[in-house]
Amino acid sequence: MLTAEQDSAARAGLSAALEAGAAILKAGGTALDAVEASVRVLEDDPLFNAGRGSVFTAEGRVECDAAIMDGRNRKAGAVAGVRSTRNPITLARAVMEQSPHVFLAGSGADAFARAHGIEAAEPGWFETTERRRQLDEILANPDAPFDVGMKYGTVGAVARDSLGHVAAATSTGGLTGKKWGRVGDSPLIGAGTYADDRAGAISCTGAGEYFIRLGVAHEIAARVRLCGEDVQAAADALIAELSGLGGKGGVIIAPARGKAGWAFNTPGMYRAMADANGAQRIAIYGDE
Residue numbers at the binding site for ligand ASP (CB under 6 A): 49, 152-154, 172, 174-175, 184-186, 192, 205-206, 208
* Residue placing its CB nearer to ligand ASP in the complex, 54 or 85: 54
Question: Distance (Å, rounded) from C-alpha 243 to C-alpha 250?
Answer: 10
Residue closer to ligand ASP by CB (options 72, 247) is 247
Check the CA dihedral 32-37-40-45 and report its sign.
Answer: negative
Give catalytic status of residue 154 as yes or no.
yes
C-alpha distance from residue 172 to each of 33, 48, 197, 233 (Å): 19, 8, 24, 26
Contact by Cβ (8 Å): 98, 85:
no
Whichever of 56 and 152 has its CB closer to ligand ASP, that residue is 152
CB 202 within 8 A of CB 251: yes
Instruction: Name the minimum Å distance from CB 155 to ligand ASP.
Output: 9
Measured CA to CA in angstroms, residue 257 lies from 36, 139, 166 at distances of 21, 46, 10
To ligand ASP, the closest distance from the beta carbon of 54 in angstroms equals 10
Complex with ligand ASP: residue 115 or 245, whichever CB lies closer: 245
The distance of closest approach from Cβ of residue 206 to ligand ASP in the complex, given in angstroms and rounded to an integer, is 5
List strand residue ranges (DSSP E) for 13-144, in order: 64-70, 75-82, 103-105
Nearest to 272 by CA among 281, 263, 264: 281
Nearer to ligand ASP, 175 or 214 (CB): 175
Query: Of 158, 232, 229, 162, whose CA–CA distance to 196 is shortest?
Result: 158
CB of 211 to ligand ASP, least distance (A): 6
In 3D space, the residue among 266, 78, 53 whose CA is nearest the CA of residue 185 turns out to be: 78
* Shortest Å, Cβ 62 to ligand ASP: 13
Please tell me which residue in 30, 57, 90, 154 is annotated as part of the active site: 154
Q: Which residues are catalytic?
A: 154
